[in-house]
A and B are shown apart, each in its own frame.
Chain A
């Protein structure tokens, strides 16, 4: 009796399988659907064009305002002045050295604060007692403007290492909070499943909590990289002898708006590259763990 029953079931699977593969799209697309797709594509192209136009308009107004003396070019600099100064600085190679220094500090600060953040978040997950004890301290640290700690870092760590101190201080608390709250939001059913197999805490951590947190890691990294860059620039403002943050403050002090603007441009490029790298890595990680 069960024999016939199970062959019946097999047929059910087959039909279920074909339904899940073949459902949805029809082989030939209707003209209405094609029109819908064309309209969508047109919209995307139009948005991209508008974005470029906005940039051109801003640069044009800036250039015009400076050349026609609507504003004092000493105060605003101008795109053409930045381009020619950029050429000079490029020739000297200094601006690249500065960008690389800031980039290196950001990468080290980012990696360090992610590692520290993950480690502390794991401790907080591991022991809810420790988590409860430390909770008010985290809240206070989160609320405190970390920039205020600048002089302390300078005295304790010296002019170079204090940059890392500032970078980590600014990014690590948010990292811990995001990761720890992510760990707590993991489906309790998955944890119960592990418990039913008699899993140890370490097994639950490595086989469920960490892999399940991949999407959370990715968004935390994106927040962290921005904050680390803020910390690095802040640190350079306070104590550095080189780097983009240093050039920005120096340019400001000697009233060289061209240097300030050029450094800011390089900073924009740097932050785009950093964010791009992090989101590329994030996409790779998300795909690897099938959260896409």
Chain B
């Protein structure tokens, strides 16, 4: 049994105007500690997949299981990092980080210790009492990551966490967060439309098809002499091969949809 399993998952959205079939027959198994990236054409329901795994959405048919148990509500074992940081203006950095622990009624003393040590470890040591407004976009997103890590999830869901940042910050931050996530040894599922990001950060890249989407192909990402950091991975010869292959698969959809 894998840590996360999606069996024949389908999802349809209903509005007064129409019915939209977002996912059709998605099958996916993710092992504990794996770093998986999901790429696909825009609007293919990548984020929907995360909402299903997190328990915020229920599939129309099929089932999602976490450690063999059916997911019916947001699980304490899952942490979700969104596209924007959504830091609360009225809380300082430390109290923003503690919001998840507060909501889940965790031991606040331990959570605070964890928060402070994570801030220290990831270069934000002096910022605990700062207001989010005083932080740059990259720093804010790091705070958002720490907020997700403080609740100690076994599974981290990242929904295009770098897409709202400028290119330079984005490269630097994805490199850094990739490094952080690797040393945390947690299961990570990253949704992105950036092929480079997917290849350089993940162990496995899953390519989704157009809507109604399902898993199209999978690529296991391996580098000949060990895993380089995301920034360095871009210089490896394997990087280009993976990029070409995944790009080729996505391009088909671009052509079909035109």
Contact = CB atoms under 8 A, between A and B. Distances in A.
Contact of B56 (A6, A190, A196, A207): A196
A285 B84 CA distance: 26
A16 B220 CA distance: 35
Contact of B90 (A194, A198, A291): A291
A5 B182 CA distance: 13
A212 B88 contact: yes
A196 to B, nearest CB: 4
Interface in A172-216: 187, 189-190, 192-199, 203, 207-208, 211-212, 214
A202 to B, nearest CB: 11
A10 interface: yes
A9 interface: yes
A76 to B, nearest CB: 52
Contact of A198 (B76, B99, B123, B229): B76
B29 interface: no
A33 interface: no
A39 B176 CA distance: 48
Interface string A1-25: 1100110011011001000100000
B179 A5 contact: yes
A190 B86 contact: yes
Given A2-B183, A10-B123, A208-B88, A196 B80 contact: yes
Contacts of A48: none
Dominant secondary structure at the A interface:
helix
A41 interface: no
Contacts of B228: 1
Contacts, number: 88
Contact of A187 (B73, B86, B179): B86
A290 interface: yes
B99 A197 contact: yes
Interface in B166-207: 172, 175-176, 179, 182-183
Interface size, B (range): 35 or more
Nearest to B144: A193
B103 A198 contact: yes
Contacts of B232: 1
A151 B212 CA distance: 64
Interface string B75-108: 1101110111010111000000001101110000
B88 A199 contact: no
Contacts of B100: 197
B133 interface: yes
Contacts of A9: 123, 172, 175-176, 179
Interface string A260-292: 000000000000000000000000000001110
B209 interface: no
Contact of B103 (A1, A20, A203, A214): A203
B227 to A, nearest CB: 9
Contacts of A1: 226, 228-229, 232
A20 B133 contact: no
B124 interface: yes
Nearest to A208: B88
B42 to A, nearest CB: 19
Interface in A239-271: none
B144 to A, nearest CB: 9
A187 B85 CA distance: 12
Contacts of B90: 211-212, 214, 289-291
Contacts of B138: 16
Nearest to A215: B89
A228 to B, nearest CB: 27
Contacts of B231: 5
A189 B82 contact: yes
Contacts of A207: 99, 102-103
B136 A196 contact: no
A20 B139 CA distance: 11
Interface of B: 54, 56, 73-76, 78-80, 82-84, 86, 88-90, 99-100, 102-104, 123-124, 131, 133-136, 138-139, 151, 172, 175-176, 179, 182-183, 226, 228-229, 231-232
7 closest Cβ contacts across the A-B interface? A196-B80, A198-B74, A289-B90, A13-B123, A197-B103, A197-B100, A199-B103
Interface of A: 1-2, 5-6, 9-10, 12-13, 16, 20, 187, 189-190, 192-199, 203, 207-208, 211-212, 214, 289-291
14 contacts: A1-B232, A2-B183, A5-B175, A5-B179, A5-B229, A6-B176, A9-B172, A20-B135, A190-B88, A193-B82, A196-B56, A196-B80, A198-B73, A290-B133
